[in-house]
Structure 1
Amino acid sequence: MNKINCVLFDLYNTLFKFYPDREETQYQASKLIDLKIDKSQFKDAILKSDSWFAEQTAKKSMHLLSDKEKFLFYCEYEKNLFGHLGQNLSESEVKKIWTYVYSQKSSLKKYDDVIPCLKFLKENNFSVGIITNIDAKGEDLSKDLNLSNYIFKIITSYDAGESKPSPKIFKYALNVFDHDPSECVFIGDQIETDVIGARNSNITPILLDREGQHSYYEECQVINNLNELQFIL
């Protein structure tokens, strides 16, 4: 690995997770249509559906979809998720579940290893940023996340006009951070959008595998938590 000066992160499932847990929200939604599914089964189904989500958004960025198209897309996500639970939901059931999930108030909660990792990076003078497919202004997101003491800039698909894995969003970020790709690493949890996207932009990818899904993966460095970064950089 070349001398690294810039560390870039994905956001969801890398630095932050939803609170309440998505398993709880989906479990409560399932009860609306009288499904009797053990809550413990939802975690694996969500992880598999998130991979599907990444594959689909790699083909067409969410920020290019109309509100109606986004609604239908998330309904398809729910159908995929419950398919992994052995359920073949009707169109009306899927819409009912997504409408409930969308209506629930949630917040983003940092993983326990995030602040220690960011402190290490700051103390060692790394430039640190986030690249995310969120369809919102990075400046607004930065205020909400309250990480300005550690993060130089958050680049979103809204800012760049493209989503991961498009090289355009990575190129946009590199211009903002004023670093060559050879000086950067990108850490994310999805192979399709994060690993392949970074590699296609000549940035060294690191796959964060918090749930042990990708122990087989050999195309790049794999870590299980952010504490491992200090031994790599």
Structure 2
Amino acid sequence: MNESIRVVFFDAADTLFHVNGSVAEIYLAHAVQFGFQQSPGSLDAITQAFGRAFRDAPPALFAETDPVKLKDSERLWWFDIVHNVFYRVGMFERFDDFFGEVFKAFESPESWRLFPDTVPSLQDLRNRKIELGIISNFDSRLFSVMRGLGIADLFDTITISSLAKAAKPAQKIFHLALEKHAVDPEEAIHIGDSIRDDVQGATQAGLHAILLDRQGRKTDPQVRSIRSLKEIPEILER
């Protein structure tokens, strides 16, 4: 494999970096500041409501090509998600002000933390002359997050669903990413934390795929997995 792999693609959130705390904790903390009446069960209720809201929501794909209008579409999509959540757990008067603040919060690098193995692993791959790319269902705030975390310059390409007009596990987003590097699917590996979006999506598009399973929870023996990004060079050398 080491002679044929030219590009290593990564998922972004929960692969290279993670939320500083939890999503529900951040939303709850901001909501309380704007008048939400917290109860002992609020955190669990918000967590569960987000799960339902994401299941009910359409994919975050938009016809807009103008950058400003695209950002507006992304913001409206998230507004509907968050409104759905707090409609279930308790609406409050200053919801619009709250949403504006919490939406900006997730664009800030302070809301995210790099995994300890991220930067050393990416630098190792670059030293090996391997091209690096991102394939993510994150919205355009990803660019600000990656710049703030200091990893944007380590990547040759970044492909996100709202710009690609396709979301993982659809093959289209993987093929668009491959085109940016002018490589065939078998010359690339995609690494991420989701069996459905990252492993199955990449495999169906013809790429090699590796599950990043940091907690060792994988149950499917047919899925190739690693516990740390530092294991990637070993995979390439096999």
Q: Verify the 8 A CA contact 2:50 2:81 in the aligned structure 1.
A: no
2:60 counterpart letter in structure 1: S
Could you say which residue in structure 1 is the equivalent of 2:81? 73
Q: Verify the 8 A CA contact 1:208 1:222 in the aligned structure 2.
A: yes
Could you say which residue in structure 2 is the equivalent of 1:82? none
Change (3 A) 1:142 1:154: farther
Deviations 1:57-112 (A, max 9, x none): 7x623446675443223444x47xxxxxxxx635x26x959737436464233211
Could you say which residue in structure 1 is the equivalent of 2:139? 135
Could you say which residue in structure 2 is the equivalent of 1:126? 130
Could you say which residue in structure 1 is the equivalent of 2:89? 89
1: distance between equivalents of 2:28 and 2:144?
31
Q: How does 1:136-215 map to 2 (within 5 A)?
A: 136=140, 143-212=147-216, 214-215=217-218
Q: Does 1:218 align with 2:221?
A: yes
Could you say which residue in structure 2 is the equivalent of 1:60? 59
Normalising by structure 2, we get a TM-score of: 0.71
Q: CA RMSD in A?
A: 3.9
CA drift of 1:166 comes to: 1.7
1: distance between equivalents of 2:50 and 2:191?
20
2: distance between equivalents of 1:188 and 1:29?
29
CA drift of 1:178 comes to: 1.2
1:224 counterpart letter in structure 2: R
Change (3 A) 1:114 1:96: same
Task: Identify unmatched segments of 5+ residues in structure 2.
Answer: 64-72
Q: Verify the 8 A CA contact 1:62 1:135 in the aligned structure 2.
A: no
CA drift of 1:127 comes to: 1.2
2: distance between equivalents of 1:218 and 1:178?
32
Normalising by structure 1, we get a TM-score of: 0.73
Could you say which residue in structure 1 is the equivalent of 2:114? 110
Task: Identify unmatched segments of 5+ residues in structure 1.
Answer: 80-87
Change (3 A) 1:189 1:216: same
1:61 counterpart letter in structure 2: A
2: distance between equivalents of 1:68 and 1:195?
29
Across the two proteins, how many residue pairs are aligned to each other? 218
CA drift of 1:20 comes to: 5.5
Change (3 A) 1:231 1:139: same
- Alignment identity in percent? 26
2: distance between equivalents of 1:231 and 1:51?
39
Residue aligned with 1:232, SS: helix
